[in-house]
Structure 1
Amino acid sequence: MSSPTVFDPEQIQKLTELGAHLRSHRTKKGLSLEEIATKTMIQHRFLEAIEKGNLEVLPEPLYVRGFIRRFAEAMGLDGVSLSESFPLGKAHVGSANAKMLGAGSTALRPWHLYVLYLAAVLGAVALLYALFKPADSTSGTVGASRPSPKASVAAAPKKVVAAAKPKPAAPVQAQLNLKADSYLDISVDGKPSYEGVLKTGTARTITAKQSIQISAGNAGGVMLGVNGQPAKLMGKPGEVKDVNLTPSSR
């Protein structure tokens, strides 16, 4: 079990200043925390903790930056500038965040294993196809009557096409594979589904009828496959990224 994050005085002071600024701007615009939570998909308790400068409720500094950016942008402020003014501090150096950003050599090992596993699966599929194809071409020659060449040639492609075209299990489907630890906030059909840190090596499949919203605190650590398509990295290491998936997403 990982030890809790310890924040330094500079981070506490800066969050207090940023929180007061965001709260003042929100009240001037007549917005409630519930409205901000709906726009940003950030839990109400985290938004309240930012405004009060209460770091004990919040996750690690990297994720706090992402919250500040989305909070500010929801009100028309410069979210990038405000979020980058919050220091990552000593808690960021040498901690689990270093692995999430790909700084340590050990963060590469799950990716190597994933590539080797994918290569082994593709090799096995190719071998099975090579063994299966001759059996189809010769099976029609056994028996009292010999089928015409046109019949045997037409039958083979139908089996290959049917086997090569996967059907999604639901109108919207997302496959997540974690190559590095990452904070994820997931909503399914507009309702919160999961929020927290998923560890390296975790794999999840998410289905929905209309839409899936995913916010990643470390986009470079998340492999995302959409509606049966090959998985790709959501973004760069340490990047905070939001995606909205629908039945037409690829």
Structure 2
Amino acid sequence: MKWLRRKDKLESTPSIEQQRAEILADMGAQLWTVRLEQGLSLHEMALLTKISPRLLQAIEQANLAELPEPVYTQGLIRQFADALGLNGAEFSSTFPIGMNRVSLKPGWKTNGVDQLRPVHLYVLYIFVIFCSVSGLSGLLNSATSQVSYSQSNPKPQRQRLAQPPVTQNNQTQQRQALSESFSSTNANQQVQIGLTLKEKSWIRVVADGKVQYEGELPQGSQRTWIAQGELTVKAGNAGGVLVSVNKQQPKQLGEPGKVKQVTIAANTEY
């Protein structure tokens, strides 16, 4: 009789897949709510998190079939939550990443759902995630440093231009090199505007003639836009909006309750 009661209890216990689906449904609903409250689209979240919109949507809709292994899914949830201003590590820790139910040896303890979750296994998972993120960040930083160094070090080009022209082909190559250098210099001319909302306000942002955002941002929102030529910002409550141009000290856009519009061009002081 005891064996039959234990068998009935095991059969009534939800599987690890069912637990993941139920927990992910609750987490996805919370992330979806916070994202909408901040006025962010899936495309904007993809730019912030470097995660494809398809995976972000799968997390919000609890679609496990579209997501990778549980340990990687937990990492994606952590990045998603961090980008929304939540505590990603704490938020994602409730998503189960352990193995399926296994046969227990005498003396082993379970967590109440007949599933083994040794502490050292969790430590290993966290270490793998940390190493993966750190390695990717190091590679990106190295690539960025190499590109910045090549653009800021003109010595090889000056040496090539200093050599006397020998043929018409050499002259053509030198002119092309000068043209590419001039184009690269112009491309680096950008203007960046950061907005911090002390109070909620309707905002419209136009970058290089294209509307980048139009809608109401809640109090406490922080947003940044970059343009090659010029940026135009219009606010319905100018007194509740702080504007920072090219990472300078933020300034109040205008008077409280007033509508104001400013246009900032590249390489100009504000």
Q: TM-score range by the shorter chain?
A: 0.3 to 0.5
Q: Kindly name which structure, 1 or 2, has the bigger radius of gyration based on alpha carbons.
A: 2
TM-score (norm 1): 0.38
TM-score (norm 2): 0.36
Structure of greater relative contact order (alpha carbons < 8 Å, 6+ residues apart):
1
